[in-house]
Amino acid sequence: MVFYAGKLIHDLDNPTIVVITDRNDLDQQLFDTFAASSGLLGQPPVQAESREHLKSLLKVASGGIVFTTIQKFFPENNRSQYDRLSERRNIIVIADEAHRTQYGFQAKMIDKKDDEGKVNGKRIAYGFAKYLRDAVPNATFIGFTGTPVEGTDINTPLVFGDYIDIYDIARAVEDGATVKIYYESRLAKVNLTEEGRRLIEEYEREMEDDGASEVRKAKAKWTKLEAIVGHPERLKILARDIIAHYERRAEVFDGKAMIVTMSRRIAVALYDEIIKIRHEWHSEDLNVGALKVVMTSSSSDKMEFDPEDPDSMVIPAFHRTNKEDRRVLSNRMKDPQDSLKLVIVRDMWLTGFDVPCLHTLYIDKLMKKHTLMQAIARVNRVFLDKPGGLVVDYIGIGNALKDALAFYSNSGGKGDPAETQAKALEMLERSIKKYQNNLLSTAEIIEELLVIARQIRTVDGLAEKLKLSKDEFAFYTALEINDSAVKVLGDETLKNIAREIAEKVHKNATIDWAMKESARAKLMVIVKRTLNKYGYPPDKQQKAVDTVLKQAEVLADYWVEQ
């Protein structure tokens, strides 16, 4: 982003560059990066301190690098239009985390409230995208994001235009810019009640793209779920398992970990359970201690239990951090030699927080789509001999992670006979997951496995007959769906194609290869070239390619673990 801004400044006629984020900590982080590069940029950046300061910074003839949060573009007095600040065309707006808060061109009616907070009518309102363009209507907009959204209500490319460049996870791993991310489910280690599992399933279904939820809005229901997830006995088990797991990883390679909880109450309670076991990790001194809670606090929080207000949140003084305190903790976390090894968070540090030595993310909070993708990316930074980042799931984000991956891979190939084996593998995976989550008894899992075994037995012997490995046979079934291919090429040629495709796909598959469209496109090119090389009939070639990619998606995780 700095180099892009530098090119703009040197190649254009003294433009004004406006860098927009939606959070103060991200604004500060980016500002510090630009400030450290003032020599390259030829001028120091300036942070807008208020709405009026922002207006004065943009009402200039030319030049300047302005940092601001998008919230400063909210109109005063609940008006539906922001002040026009400049008609200039040489204003470049750079939006970081462009998948968030960059929408709202359409008008909507919302409640109008009086000074006492009582609804007294309706008013017209828009989103920040419209207000921003009210202010600088002729500006050029460019968005940076690692997790674009392409939904019906919010769509990043529709706001900023087509993708200019895609640098995806697969390329980043290949270039050595990031490491692979691995997933481990430990849900079975921290048993939930039947009611808890049911509430989690409902919560997951109703969660919206931005992480908010109708369940959470229904406070009573959310409170019930939070109480189950944060039950003292469950937190005791969770604390023991996290400690044991982290210390085993620490024996292999040094590094740090982050624990994500669903509420501030749980974060504090989990901290208490952990330090009961590891007393030496605790310290009330901000600069000392191996374990810290990083979160905001409220003026209504209590220092200790108040019998007159039993429902109030109890946040001890040493957990109450301001902006400067969190900067100290951030620096400690980023220093590999510092004694701070684990932090507990709810929302903070899940985006835009780079700690290369962070190797493990313990998740005990339901997340999905871009929120989940950004969170797991905290552990993919390169550091010394770190082989990869690990995401440990204690609450059941497996399906949400698959959905997020599916969005980026845009996979197809449904309703095809060649998917029989793929479907069997998926059935097996679902059955095992149910067993791990205590949704099936031992007898039930055995029965399900027997059903699956009967379904795949009919094709299993054919692989041996053709002298193909299981991987090769998966791709052979994708190729033989084309009757004309069987007639023209024969089994021997199809077997050769299957072997070559299996080898090439295997070499290019990583745990995150399916996250991005460009990686999938690369795989598609490899498959098509191989088919053309052997003269595979074109009448159903795309069908074969789609099915091969589907098979590869199913087998990718298995290959990576070998």
pLDDT digits (tens, 9 = 90+) for 464-502: 655 666 556 666 665 655 555 655 666 677 777 777 777
Assigned CATH topology for domain 2-165: Rossmann fold (3.40.50)
pLDDT-based confidence at residue 154 (cuts at 50, 70, 90): confident
Q: Around 402, how many Cα atoms within 13 Å sit in the side-chain half-sphere?
A: 10
At 514 the pLDDT is: 44
Mean pLDDT for the chain? 76
pLDDT digits (tens, 9 = 90+) for 178-234: 888 888 888 767 766 667 777 776 666 665 544 444 444 556 667 777 888 899 999
Assigned CATH topology for domain 171-407: Rossmann fold (3.40.50)
Average pLDDT in the 334-356 region?
A: 92
At 210 the pLDDT is: 45
Residues 6+ apart with CB under 8 A from 520: 409, 410, 411, 513, 514, 549
- Residue ranges of the chain that CATH labels 3.40.50.300: 171-407
At 426 the pLDDT is: 54
Q: Which element (helix H / strand E) includes 228?
A: helix 219-229
Question: Can you give the pTM of this predicted structure?
Answer: 0.62
The answer to whether residue 302 scores a pLDDT higher than 70 is no
At 288 the pLDDT is: 95
At 107 the pLDDT is: 79
- Alpha-carbon dihedral sign for residues 250, 253, 255, 258: negative
Higher-scoring residue by pLDDT: 365, 527: 365
Percent composition of the chain: helix, strand, coil (DSSP 3-state, to 5)? 50, 15, 35
- Alpha-carbon dihedral sign for residues 237, 238, 243, 245: positive
* Distance of alpha carbon 144 from alpha carbon 25, whole angstroms: 17
Residues 6+ apart with CB under 8 A from 300: 312, 313
* Distance of alpha carbon 406 from alpha carbon 244, whole angstroms: 33
At 410 the pLDDT is: 45
pLDDT-based confidence at residue 388 (cuts at 50, 70, 90): confident
Distances (CA, A) of 264 to 95, 230, 291, 325, 347: 30, 10, 15, 17, 9
Pair 169, 522: CB distance under 8 Å:
no
Average pLDDT in the 255-281 region?
A: 95
Most confident of 83-87, 141-145, 271-275, 498-502: 271-275
